[in-house]
Amino acid sequence: MPAVFIKSATQLDQLPEGNKPHIAIVGRSNVGKSTLVNQLTKQTDLARVSAKPGHTQAMNIYEIDKRYYLVDLPGFGFAKTSKVQRADFQDMIADYLRETEQLKMVILIVDASIPPTVLDEEMFGFLESLELPITVVLNKIDKLKANDLKKLIPTMTPIFPNVTFVQHSSVLGKGRGELTDVIERALRHATSSLPPQI
């Protein structure tokens, strides 16, 4: 899918104008958001990948197929930044999720190789309260043993109910097609729910 980096934004008024749909990506710092962007778009260096948590400190906006924007939000949780900066990041994320009318789906990335953290569950609860469509990407499944992989969805379902799950690994090259299909369904639903043109 042709993908272009548009800009980094730190305020809502810096977002692209127009009604083009947004698909947002959220997740804890260092959970693999940038890697997911690169794999999803098949561009190895579109999003900068860093080994240091908290590298993404703004909303990074990518235009996909000239049809929609993929918005990589700052990672929540641990980051080597000041408490003031971390608070600013959280406010930025919350404001974007609450106030962006073009937002059609949120992709919450969770590290499948460890139990979901309190921060993961708090973010999920916040998204639920906004009644936003949610897809949970269970990332880094390459780190799981076969038996644990079989138990993954049944284990996660009570924690993240009523969502679509995508099991993903950039190492194994798994999950891209499924996630692309989920995004396409969200975009079709968004288009079909638009009021008729007069």
pLDDT digits (tens, 9 = 90+) for 74-91: 888 754 444 544 455 578
User: Is 190 inside a domain boundary?
Assistant: no
User: Is 47 inside a domain boundary?
Assistant: yes
User: Is 21 inside a domain boundary?
Assistant: yes
Alpha helix (H) residue ranges in the chain: 33-41, 83-99, 118-129, 146-156, 176-192
Return the number of other C-beta atoms located less than 10 Å from residue 91's C-beta: 10
pLDDT digits (tens, 9 = 90+) for 149-190: 999 999 999 999 999 999 999 999 999 999 999 999 999 988
CB-based burial label for 24 (10 Å; 0-12, 13-18, 19+) = buried
- The pTM of the whole model exceeds 0.85: yes
User: Is 188 inside a domain boundary?
Assistant: no
Residue type, 168: H
User: Is 81 inside a domain boundary?
Assistant: yes
Split into its structural domains, the chain has a count of: 1
User: Is 187 inside a domain boundary?
Assistant: no
The CATH number linked to 95 is: 3.40.50.300
Residue span of the structural domain in which 165 resides:
3-181
User: Is 55 inside a domain boundary?
Assistant: yes
User: Is 118 inside a domain boundary?
Assistant: yes
pLDDT digits (tens, 9 = 90+) for 179-198: 999 999 999 988 776 555 44
